[in-house]
Structure 1
Amino acid sequence: MTTKANKPLYIGLAGFGTVGGGLARLLVENADLVRRRAGRDIIVKKVLVRNLSKGRAVPLPETAELTDKPEVLLNDPEIDVLVELMGGIDAPRALINEALDRGKHIVTANKALLAEEGGELFRKAAEKNRILRYEASVAGAIPIVESLKESFTGNRISSLVGILNGTSNYILSEMTTNGLDFDVALRQAQELGYAEADPTLDIDGHDAAHKLTLLIRLAYGVHYPYTAMPVRGIRGLSAMDIRLAREFGYRIKLIAQVRERNENGVARLEAGVFPALVHHTLLLARVGGVYNAVRVDGNAAGSLFFHGRGAGDLPTAGAVLADLVAVARDEAPNNTGFAATELPRASIMPPEDWRSRYYVRLMVRDAPGVLRDVAGCMADEGVSLAQVIQKSDEGKGVPFVFMTHETTEHAMRAALQHTVDAGMLLEPAVYFRVLGGE
């Protein structure tokens, strides 16, 4: 006799690409372990794809029926869970909405959908008392979602900083280690399959921003609109800045960061994605290749560092499978980590008020008085220089490079505008925030 305790968990899988194929493989290879952990089998019953005749790198599970019609999956009352691995926003949103209406649980890796329109889906899941799990949406194999939902619940989190995009990290690692120019490193990443043919989401910082939006929700219990987040990527970053940063003892990384700032008793979040100089003594500076990392600082736990593979078939599929095991155990829904169905909007600190040290590179003419004139422009806005390097002529002028003491984004931009107005620059100024090594 089949009871709920030993009835298999049947899933409908939407998407059978890299991660979907990895999930199918793990369900076979780890079947005994899954059964021991979950107390029952997890079986793929239907697989939704766009093209029925397309060749598959991984064999379809023997139990599964292939379909290109969403209603075939949605109308099957035996399917307990929709696993959405399609990507995109519009079609997955419609599919997940309908699946929730049909009483199905959801497991997804879709960070873009959850970051941009997750509020509506989380509300509906709460109304239907359904599970909506998404460990695979952030940092691949790193269990950061579950850690923030469960393990950090006794902490007030002061900051979270991470490397959340493997493509950008690979490019920066190759530029740093092998001296490659940006375009060469990007092309190499594409040839190795680490970067898409259109790498916009990765190199312009939007993929990391989607992931940071989800982590903010989990860490602080607030809705930080993705559209309100300042995002700056690494497109066209110069090998000269990689080299000069190393002379100061830093590595340039694409950083996703949120910090809680308290001013006059008011707590506000400072969050964004941006290239930054990370001091070589920090673990984040040593994260190479396509790996991801997250550092979380809590008032009880102190600083904890997570590091691992941020993408790929099996790392991401393993996170999906962990979510499925949780559903198979009949765990109660805990979709955002907070009891409230409607999370409040974050109190946001404007980017111009952020405080940081800065790395600045100005291309100037090799003429007497440059240091005096630049220092004067900085002093007019209260920006003081901490370290200065003036290099020899490189064909387009002399790189005048300096590190500042802590200042605001507003003051930094205003000071650089003074150098433009004075006609000092031969090309636009380059400046990055600095993490660590204070």
Structure 2
Amino acid sequence: MSIPQSGGGLIEHFAQLAELLESGCKPKTDWRLGTEHEKFGWLEGSHAPLPYAGDRSISALFAGLIDRHGWQAVREGEHIIGLTRNGANISLEPGGQFELSGAPLVSVNDTAAELQNHLDEVAGIAGPLGIRFMGIGAAPEWRHDQMPVMPKGRYRLMTDYMGRVGTHGTQMMYRTCTVQVNLDYASEADMVQKLRVALALQPVATALFASSPFFDGKPNGHKSWRSRIWRGLDNARTGMLPFAFDQGFGFQQYVDWVLDAPMYFVYRDGKYINALGQSFRDFLKGELPALPGEKPTLSDWADHMTTVFPEARVKKYIEMRGADCGDQAHIVALPAFWVGLMYDQTALDAAWDLVKGLDTETREGLRVAASVAGLQGEAGGVKIADLAQAAVGLSHAGLAARGMGEERHLAPLVTSLKAGKVQADRWLDLYHGEWGGDLTAIYAAASL
């Protein structure tokens, strides 16, 4: 989940909303990638989720990272709710999922090094405390009432609202983990092409990175339960954005969709003001019930843009949001997959040729099929395994064309395609095989 955004001063004319997105356009020489991943902390001995406070806790980890590695505290009131250093951030998801939002980097090789350094720093502090972390898409055993609640005002508001607008919102907040990559665009036309390819191929990412076949202590019937959760969260702010494939789509059409998503909050003076279900369009007119007579700033707009959760999201860059978190190699494979497709024009054009014939029904069908069956899924006569094979091949070619040796980071995906199995299949095989239906082994097996 995002921290408060810095967008700018008072919104004086409507065009500024789209202009904020347009300001993200940059030449290819300035393109970077930023990788984010969430992971579950747990306590050795009990397998309990990592609490916020105490001797063995998130607070203890924060203190160690500040004292030993030069991270700086991000506070909300009296609580440290995140850390920052050299363009990177460590933040907390609602249930204490520990998230690294990496700095903007030049290559996937840099991402791999950044991740290794982060895991080493965390392990050096966590290990002596009997704290470990696991990379998996959904909490295998923990119930909702077992999850800690982080001291962030945004999450208190969202928890209440999620329970009223969907069936799975609090599951997403407290018991799932993802990995995503944020990528740049050169122009509005480049954004449109990249977003369309990203949306159409998110089911492939969901299938290749599926690692959440357990929930509430048993198999859940899906390879990616995390993906299933997103389909039952809040239809006003999630999904595959079919309008993005309409002729004439651009920054303004995306802005119009975000404006129609009900608000969560307004951030003022370090506090989150309840604006649940209210309209940003009313805010623009100075008619927001939460702040009568006050008009929004660009920072308010930037905040509101973080409260929509489509499978690929536009800000001043594009976020690829369809993948479960997994092991260390898969965390790096996710940015490799998308960089190969998005940052080489030949690969991007070929990827668009691959998916441009898919209609809305097929794209949505593939999304569902990827969640349920992973690489074995299909919809509209399209087999996910075939689409994944083609997409990974294009990504490999795109990475090779960059000449940085990044294509080696696709190795976990190549292995999955050869075997026809992903991380979720491995966990299920172990569960039904040597583990004998006992999930306690997964904590160590999925550790990062």
What's the TM-score bracket when you normalise by the shorter of the two chains?
Answer: under 0.3
Higher helix share: 2
TM-score scaled by structure 1?
Answer: 0.26
Whose RCO is larger (CA < 8 A, sep 6+)?
Answer: 2
TM-score scaled by structure 2?
Answer: 0.25
| Structure with bigger gyration radius | 1
